Amino acid sequence: MVYELEEKLSKSMKALRINKTPADQYELATIPIPKAEGTKVLIKIGSAGLCHTDLVVLNGGFGGGLPLTGSHEPAGTIVELCDRALEINGGLKIGDRVVALFHQDLCGTCSDCKFGDWKYCSHSKYGGITTDGYFAEYALVEAKSCVIIPDSMSFEQAAPLTCAGVTAYTAIKKANLKPGQIIAISGLGAVGSLGVQMAKEIGLKVVAIDVRPEPIELVNSFELKPDLIINRYEGWEGVDVTLLVADPPASHSYGAAITRKHGTLILVSGPLQGIKLEFTDLLFKDLCLKGSLHGNAVDLKETIDLCSKSNTKSHIKKFHIEEHKKMLRETEKKESKGKIVVTF
């Protein structure tokens, strides 16, 4: 049985496509609207975020699944779903406002899928990266990754929580700190600026680090401000856990320098040139280095709850789907800060 909106959907939709890589633009195309089937539900996208990873995809960095629609950060309204999807997530219904994770076509048989940690499934596809994503008027998402959002949360604020937000939240959770302990967040882009607010909300002391003036100005404007801001890689030490959210090697070695003996470094970014740490930091300071990948559906639900309760927000810049060229030009601006989202 398929449940769908009473008003009939048209058969085609606008989408921002990548047909070949490397590309310096998306192509605005008209393509068929997919059908909800099996474990997937169809959502009418309210807003979809642009993440640093999307620029890597445009550049051919993941090399798979072309042509595809960009974006891995969806928020929208459920317009079509089948019985199989309801067996998986019985709380869903037509008209629900949801966000979802970008994992698709999970194998269901590997040990990570079986034990519920399917973000590590090495057989799954990723919307906007290896299969169609969410810069489209409609898109498919897995029922198991859908989380209903409160009416008070706009789609524009909700979309970035599905990657930037849940990534920050999961890393903070992995830090396993108690209120009053100190976390440093090095890199104050979309992930770091949400992380600062979430860490403050749960009672941590927050050291925010970035060498760029614009992101510092941004985190300083939040209601949930950091306790200390550092704008160059020198001085200070004594942090319990440092989240490495930035790519430059200098930010990694500085992260190790400010972390106390027996403290922890959590790598959140994916620096293509690798990470730079001194062996002396790991040996003589007994630092532990961990990775933290994205999040699962429980993390996404907790992210939505925490952000809505604390009024944690991204600094949003909206671009209509027709303005996609202007949107990519915005990413080239040095003084650009906050989060870009597409509207329809």
Binding site for Zn ion (CB under 5 A): 51, 53, 107, 110, 113, 121, 163
Q: Which is nearer to Zn ion, 167 or 264 (CB)?
A: 167
Contact 153, 308 (CB under 8 A): yes
Q: Which is nearer to Zn ion, 181 or 336 (CB)?
A: 336
Q: Which is nearer to Zn ion, 107 or 250 (CB)?
A: 107
Alpha-helical regions (H) of 203-246: 213-220
Rounded to an integer, what distance in angstroms lies between the CA atom of residue 64 and that of residue 70? 12
CA-wise closest residue to 311 among 206, 204, 201, 227: 201
CB of 164 to Zn ion, least distance (A): 6
> Quick check: helix, strand or coil at residue 234?
coil
CB of 153 to Zn ion, least distance (A): 19
Q: Which is nearer to Zn ion, 116 or 213 (CB)?
A: 116
CB of 94 to Zn ion, least distance (A): 28
Rounded to an integer, what distance in angstroms lies between the CA atom of residue 75 and that of residue 84? 21
Rounded to 5°, angle at Cα 289 from 288 and 293: 135
Assigned token pair, 125: 């596809």
CB of 344 to Zn ion, least distance (A): 20
CB of 110 to Zn ion, least distance (A): 3
DSSP 8: P
- Within the chain, what is the greatest distance between any pair of CA atoms? 66
CB of 276 to Zn ion, least distance (A): 23
Q: Which is nearer to Zn ion, 53 or 242 (CB)?
A: 53
Rounded to an integer, what distance in angstroms lies between the CA atom of residue 70 and that of residue 130? 9
Alpha-carbon separation of residue 58 from 47, 52, 245, 317 (angstroms):
20, 10, 21, 20
CB of 196 to Zn ion, least distance (A): 18
Q: Which is nearer to Zn ion, 58 or 282 (CB)?
A: 58
DSSP 206: E
Q: Please list the residues that pair with 136 across neighbouring strands.
A: 15
Contact 189, 215 (CB under 8 A): yes
Give the other-Cβ count within 10 Å of 47's Cβ: 24
Q: Which is nearer to Zn ion, 182 or 307 (CB)?
A: 307
Q: Which is nearer to Zn ion, 177 or 185 (CB)?
A: 185
CB of 284 to Zn ion, least distance (A): 35
DSSP 131: B
